[in-house]
Chain A
Amino acid sequence: MDKMLFNIIRLKIMSTLISVDTCDFNYLLKVTESTKGNLSIQLKKLGEAKYINVKKCFENNYPKTRYKITSKGVRLFEKFFSDIQILKEN
């Protein structure tokens, strides 16, 4: 089992990113119901492990960060999901 996805915030992030093409930090903050600091740390970990892509840009002179799941992230998330389903059935 993938230990990276055992953290509840990281699991929430990945579950959100699997269902969208891209999303911003504020949306993730709202749906994960986490704090800014904790969310930033978990996003950084997922980014370092190449589960997600982080794209920084400027919108109306304000910095904006957009997140997108990578193909590695999709593969590992799907594997995690099938593993927990097997566990649940057993």
Chain B
Amino acid sequence: MESKEHIEIINQMINKTKEQLRPFSLNLIFWGALISIMSIIYFNVLYLFETDMHHILFWTIIPFLGMVFMTNYNIKKGREIGYETHLSRTIKIIWSIFGIAWLFIILLSAIQGFEGATIQFLILFTSAICLLISGILIKFLPVTLGGASILLILTLSSLIPEISYTYVNLFSLSLGFTIPGLFLYFHKSNE
């Protein structure tokens, strides 16, 4: 076999490996939709949450179940694809650390008795940083802008203290997760 054929084989094999960003986009859509729906429910049936424990349970149990569901989906999808690229491994590590950070924030808030606004700020801020890093890594502007928009909303919400948590959550999750997730899902090269 000639050297030219060797190079052709190497190129062919490398081109067969495509970056699989569809599972990541589905993760963004899922979390965006889930937290937005939760925010709407929370806002409309606020009278059901009589104690702080009710609030903590609502914002802990449902996201935790979501985390279990999406982790299971990601593992199944990974098996189906049969390979993991360096980039998808990096993205997986970033969001796993976000998951640990989220648990840590919840745990600390239960011990220290943080206010709802502080917990929300910490979680949204961490997610914005993870979105910014992910967007830059995958070179996809809507995801990067999604992260930046959450930071902007957090800045604005600190300037307007009377703004409802629900609206902050709704705008942050829609602009930061759902919309970039949909853009990524329908992106041409993501097929």
Contacts and interface: CB of A to CB of B under 8 A. Distances in A.
A41 interface: no
A11 B9 contact: yes
Contacts of B17: 16, 19-20
Interface residues of A, number: 23
Dominant secondary structure of chain B at its interface with chain A: helix
A8 B82 contact: no
A87 B5 CA distance: 12
B85 A84 contact: no
Given A8-B1, A84-B6, A85-B7, A20 B13 contact: no
B10 A11 contact: yes
Given A16-B17, A31-B16, A85-B3, A8 B86 contact: no
Contacts of B188: none
Interface string B62-90: 00000000000000000101111110110
Contacts of B10: 11, 15, 81
Dominant secondary structure of chain A at its interface with chain B: helix
A6 B1 contact: yes
Contacts of B81: 27
Nearest to B87: A21
A8 B8 CA distance: 11
B43 to A, nearest CB: 41
Nearest to A16: B13
B139 interface: no
A87 B4 CA distance: 9
Contact of B84 (A11, A16, A22, A87): A22
A11 B1 CA distance: 12
Interface string A76-88: 0000010011011
A86 to B, nearest CB: 9
A24 interface: yes
B53 interface: no
Interface of A: 6, 8, 11-12, 15-16, 18-24, 26-27, 30-31, 59, 81, 84-85, 87-88
Interface of B: 1, 3-4, 6-7, 9-10, 12-14, 16-17, 79, 81-86, 88-89
- Give the 8 A-B residue pairs with the shortest CB-CB distance, closest first: A27-B82, A15-B13, A23-B83, A84-B3, A87-B3, A88-B3, A19-B17, A20-B83
